[in-house]
Amino acid sequence: MSKTLQAVRGMNDILPDEAEIWEQFEEIVRNWLHSYGYRPIRMPLVEPTPLFKRAIGEVTDIVEKEMYSFEDALNGEHLTLRPEGTASCVRAAIQHNLLFSHPRRLYYQGPMFRHERPQKGRYRQFHQVGVEALGFEGPDIDAEHILMCARLWDDLGLDDVKLEINSLGSSEERAVHRAALIAYLEQHQARLDEDGKRRLYTNPLRILDTKNPDLQDIVEGAPKLAEFLGEESIKHFEGVQAVLKDAGLPYRINHRLVRGLDYYNRTVFEWVTTRLGAQGTICAGGRYDGLIAQLGGKPAPAAGFAMGVERLLALWQESGGQAERIVPDVYLVHAGEEAQRAAFRVSEMLRGTGFSVTQHCGGGSFKSQMKRADASGAPFAVVIGDDEAAAGEVSLKPLRDGGEQLRVPMEVLPETLADRLIESEEDDGSI
């Protein structure tokens, strides 16, 4: 016997009970995004590999170690399963000239792929909600993104989520800081770990984000980017903070917050929690004013953020969030050949008038069907036997409140069911 096939490690099935929680979460997120004027965009899962090398940076963990890249056997094109959404969204905006007439507020959600070591909150196929504001300059859109997140945490009832912000300044300011940082780190080169030595001349800013406890004293003593910011960058960062202060939103300036992608400039931020262990960042983003031009578009400012759905769902459930069980309005039970034919007509009639119906399929005794009806959670069962079918009638049986069973003509069933559902909701206080 052949071995049973399993899902690829780090790429998980989302089974019905959990998938219903996802759907409820996604509905909350869509309503939240629409309330801020953001519109959906959907990009391919597969993109040209050079897109991510150019956007993210060749000397980053994502490009060097984590991307799922391959060569198309038909035409030799180098392709990659998208590891993040910003580059794809910007590529789409450039390709379809979306910024020709006005700036865009866009969002997307879906799977991303990175070859990481699977652990709680980190998977090889993971899901993100991404938000991009293309064509907006000034600190107001940066602040809007941060305040948006705070609103979502409130909608989800999350606590113990804290905001950290920083400014990476302009590319010119980072270049001066980079030179000073390299000179400083060269004095401690012998103590750097392998990642630090590899990044020293290629991406030294990332060394400041190391989690290695043996390097913390070196990192603490390193030149701070804030000391190299010019007047415009300082003014921009102060503008973001002014909005946050006006909104009464607490935050911490974290000078070691640099983000792992090369395209960021000026404002960067992370929302972090202590409830998810090492995977404490649930949302992160910032400004990336140079990326549109870097990918071949007309220069335009931009900012955005992304949140990990798996991590957010874990935090939401830990904070008491749960999905309401989705149940049908009726479960339709039938016994007999004529009854089965009538069952299809009745089910479609009810669906056509706005009711949700689970029709029993697969045969079985009346008793076994009624057990299925009860387990479905439906407040009512519609029962059809051959005698009801011959008379053009059905029986409407309450399943939850022990009320009276009614036998009614098929054509008045929708009105009768609507009335009984209202009565049932009034009795349990739901309306």
Look up the domain containing 122 and give its range: 16-169+229-318
pLDDT at 121: 63
Residue 381 DSSP SS3: strand
Residues 55 and 161 in one domain: yes
- With CA atoms as reference, report the closest residue to 289 among 161, 382, 168: 168
In angstroms, the CA 104 to CA 78 distance is 30
Report the number of distinct structural domains present in the chain: 2
Contact yes or no for 152/33 (Cβ under 8 A):
no
- With CA atoms as reference, report the closest residue to 285 among 265, 269, 266: 269
Angle formed by the axes of helices 231-246 and 139-156, to 10°? 30
- Is 212 a domain residue? no
Query: pLDDT in tens for each of the 431 residues of the chain?
Result: 578 888 888 888 889 888 888 998 999 999 999 999 999 999 999 999 988 888 877 666 777 778 888 888 888 889 999 999 999 999 999 999 999 889 999 999 999 998 877 776 678 999 999 999 999 989 999 999 999 999 999 999 888 889 999 998 888 888 888 888 888 888 888 888 887 788 777 778 777 777 788 788 888 888 888 888 899 999 999 999 999 999 999 999 988 787 656 678 889 999 988 777 666 888 999 999 989 998 999 999 999 999 999 989 988 888 777 777 788 999 999 988 889 899 999 999 999 999 999 999 888 888 999 999 999 989 999 999 988 889 998 999 998 877 788 898 999 999 988 988 877 665 655 54
Angle formed by the axes of helices 309-318 and 16-35, to 10°? 100
DSSP state of 339: H
Other CB atoms within a 10 A radius of the CB of residue 419 amount to: 10
Q: Which residues contact 184 (CB under 8 A, 6 or more apart)?
A: 221, 222, 223
Q: Could you give the angle at the alpha carbon of 29 between the alpha carbons of 24 and 33, nearest 5°?
A: 150
What pTM value is reported for the model?
A: 0.83
What CATH number corresponds to the domain at position 240?
3.30.930.10
Q: Could you give the angle at the alpha carbon of 108 between the alpha carbons of 292 and 269, nearest 5°?
A: 65
- The last residue of one of the domains, among 277, 295, 318, is 318
Residues 260 and 159 in one domain: yes
Q: What would the two tokens of residue 206 be?
A: 């990332």
Q: What would the two tokens of residue 151 be?
A: 């609103």
Give the amino acid at 213: P
Residues 155 and 105 in one domain: yes
pLDDT at 214: 79
In angstroms, the CA 132 to CA 145 distance is 9
Residues 313 and 350 in one domain: no
Residues 265 and 399 in one domain: no
In angstroms, the CA 397 to CA 383 distance is 7
pLDDT at 278: 61
Residues 289 and 340 in one domain: no
